[in-house]
């Protein structure tokens, strides 16, 4: 697959295409990104407790690189929405997501964040993908810590397939 | 022993001096004799008395201030909608007040029946501080107004753009209502700060948030 006129990040007039340079750059960049996913736990309910379990020493998410849990969206690159999101909370979630810098990924953890869970009622958002784009969904109520770890690993595999040729520009 | 200080609500000898109070029957008879309140036949276990709306404040003050009763806490204020209740004759709404006396180990409930078109009841916020949010929640979910409440139409649980009262039986339960701009509650924050003695210098721009739009790959 060849791309014509793919501008390099360095200068728009240099055409990269599909070459040795881009694949090597991809490999390095993706390796760096997947092994240093800093989570921002947007924990609202019980899934946050389970996330705490995943971060603790027994299940240890930090062996996958996601060690530094940052509580500011401006310093994190992985938004983990753990818990129920209501319509009252929805603008807040959107604002937090908007404050994150590229590259950013979103994991929707648990039944409530994925689909509203068992709260089929007047106040719950039926899935956070109504509000923000989601990369990984974790099923469970709450999911086992092992499931959270599997989601992180799957996300890492997905990051491996990314390329600088497809620059993600949201809303440009 | 229990010193009867001038402030009946805060002086209660809780420290290991719980005394046996009146039994439920005795309490029921006392209140019936004094105010003419009947027991609610639907409430099987606890003592629940039907109280007309006009007498509510009088009865509540008596429950709180009387030396042998000392119901110093209102545990909860609950709204009830009897619209879908089988074989119900009578007013559509009811408000139930749960009181507890720690000193005498006693509980009592008062049920006030409310007609649908009137849907209002006197507020007891000046008697009990915890009634403030409890009454706001009842208004939020049922639409029952509390006359004399300091903050009557402010939503507590639902968001501020919500229309309707969701726990009423005629509200479609799965009907969702989106919120476009969230309420940053700066006004309440400033109020609290002023209460504590801080001076608020710059109120600032309270509603900087832009409305959220459906996700079309758009950062605002």
Beta B73-81 vs B93-101: how paired, if at all? antiparallel
What is the pTM (predicted TM-score) of this model? Answer: 0.79
Confidence category of residue A171, pLDDT binned at 50, 70, 90: very low
Q: What's residue B2's pLDDT?
A: 45
Which of B137, B176, B181, B216 to mutate: most A Cβ within 10 Å? B176
A94 at B interface, C-beta within 8 A: yes
Q: Tell me the mean pLDDT in the region A100-104.
A: 89
Contacts A–B by Cβ distance under 8 A: 58
Task: Find out whether A69 and A36 touch, Cβ atoms under 8 Å.
Answer: no
CB atoms < 10 A from the CB of A150, how many?
14
Nearest CA in chain A to B163: A122
- In this prediction, residue B152 carries a pLDDT of 85
State the smallest CA–CA distance between residue A57 and chain B in angstroms.
Answer: 37
pLDDT at B109: 93
Beta bridge partners of A78: A39, A105
Tokens of B22: 């009146």
Does A10 score more than 70 pLDDT?
no
pLDDT of residue A11: 57
Span A8-32, mean pLDDT? 74
Nearest CA distance, B73 vs chain A (angstrom)? 29
* A87 reaches B (C-beta below 8 A): yes
Q: Among A2-6, A21-25, B54-58, which stretch is predicted with the lowest mean pLDDT?
A: A2-6
Residues of A in Cβ contact (< 8 Å) with B168: none
CA distance B45 to B113: 19
DSSP lists the bridge partners of residue B100 as B73, B107
What pLDDT is stored for residue A14 in this prediction?
58
More confident residue, A13 or B219: A13
Cα gap B77→A75, rounded to integer Å: 44
Measured between beta carbons, which residues in chain B are less than 8 angstroms from residue A120?
A: 174
Q: A119 near A147, Cβ under 8 Å?
A: no
Nearest CA in chain B to A89: B182
> Using CA atoms, how far apart are residues B75 and B134, in angstroms rounded to an integer?
9
pLDDT tens, chain B, 220 aa long: 444 444 444 444 444 456 677 788 888 888 888 998 888 888 877 889 999 999 999 999 999 998 888 899 999 999 999 998 998 888 999 999 999 998 888 899 999 999 888 888 999 999 999 999 999 999 999 999 999 999 888 899 999 999 999 999 999 989 999 998 888 888 888 888 889 998 887 765 555 555 555 654 444 4
pLDDT(A40) > 60: yes
Q: What is the pLDDT of residue A75?
A: 94
- Do the strands B145-147 and B120-122 form a parallel or antiparallel pair, or are they unpaired? parallel
* B212:A87 CB<8 A: no
Picking from A120, A122, A130, the nearest residue to B166 by CB comes out as A122
The tokens describing A68, both together, are 């530094």
- Which residues make Cβ contacts (< 8 Å) with residue A82, sequence separation at least 6? A41, A42, A43, A44, A45, A47, A48, A50, A51, A109, A110, A113
Buried b / exposed e along A91-120 (16+ C-beta atoms within 10 A): bbbbebbbebeeebbbbbbbbbbbbbbeee
Name chain A contacts of B159, Cβ cutoff 8 Å: 86-88
With a cut of 50, say whether residue A3 has pLDDT above it.
no
* Percent of chain A predicted with pLDDT > 90: 70
Chain A residue with Cα closest to B172: A122
Tell me the CA distances in angstroms from A139 to A110, A131, A156, B164, B174, one per residue in order.
5, 19, 18, 33, 22
The terminus-to-terminus CA distance of chain A in angstroms comes to: 26
Which pLDDT does position B87 carry in this prediction? 86
Higher pLDDT, A141 or B182: A141
Coil vs helix vs strand at B212:
coil
pLDDT digits (tens, 9 = 90+) for A44-91: 999 999 999 999 999 999 999 998 899 999 999 999 999 999 999 999
Q: What is the mean pLDDT of chain A?
A: 87
Q: What tokens were used for A70?
A: 């940052």
Closest listed residue to residue B207, CA positions, set B169, B181, B180, B177? B181
- The CA distance from A88 to the nearest CA of chain B, in Å, is 5
Instruction: State residue B24's pLDDT score.
Output: 82
Chain B contact for A115, CB < 8 A? no
């Amino acid at each position: 697959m060849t791309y014509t006129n793919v501008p390099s990040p360095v200068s728009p007039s240099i055409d990269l295409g599909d070459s040795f340079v881009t694949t090597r750059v991809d490999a390095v960049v993706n390796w760096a990104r997947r092994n240093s996913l800093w989570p921002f736990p947007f924990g609202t309910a019980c899934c946050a407790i389970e996330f705490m379990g995943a971060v603790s020493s027994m299940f240890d998410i930090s062996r996958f690189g996601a060690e530094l849990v940052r509580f500011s969206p401006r310093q994190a690159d992985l938004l983990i929405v753990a818990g129920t999101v209501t319509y009252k909370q929805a603008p807040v979630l959107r604002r937090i997501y908007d404050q994150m810098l590229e590259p950013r990924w979103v994991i929707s953890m648990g039944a409530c964040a994925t689909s509203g869970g068992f709260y089929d009622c007047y106040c719950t958002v039926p899935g956070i993908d109504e509000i923000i784009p989601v990369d990984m969904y974790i099923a469970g109520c709450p999911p086992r810590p092992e499931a959270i770890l599997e989601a992180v690993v799957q996300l890492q595999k997905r990051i491996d397939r990314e390329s600088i040729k497809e620059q993600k520009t949201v809303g440009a | 022993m229990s010193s009867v200080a001038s402030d009946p609500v805060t002086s209660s000898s809780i420290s290991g001096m719980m005394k046996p109070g009146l039994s439920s029957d005795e309490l029921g008879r006392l209140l019936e004799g004094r105010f003419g309140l009947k027991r609610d036949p639907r409430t099987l276990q606890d003592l629940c008395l039907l109280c007309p709306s006009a007498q509510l404040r009088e009865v509540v003050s008596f429950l709180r201030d009387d030396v042998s009763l000392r119901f110093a806490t209102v545990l909860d204020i609950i709204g009830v909608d009897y619209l879908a209740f089988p074989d119900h004759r009578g007013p559509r709404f009811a408000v139930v007040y749960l009181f507890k006396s720690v000193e005498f180990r006693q509980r009592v409930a008062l049920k006030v029946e409310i007609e649908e078109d009137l849907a209002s009841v006197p507020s007891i916020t000046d008697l009990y501080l915890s009634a403030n949010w409890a009454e706001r929640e009842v208004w939020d979910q049922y639409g029952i107004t509390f006359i004399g409440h300091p903050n009557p139409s402010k939503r507590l649980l639902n968001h501020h753009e919500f229309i309707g009262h969701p726990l009423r039986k005629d509200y479609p339960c799965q009907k969702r209502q989106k919120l476009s701009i969230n309420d940053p509650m700066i006004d309440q924050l400033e109020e609290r700060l002023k209460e504590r003695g801080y001076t608020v210098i710059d109120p600032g721009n309270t509603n900087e948030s832009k409305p959220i739009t459906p996700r079309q790959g758009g950062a605002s």
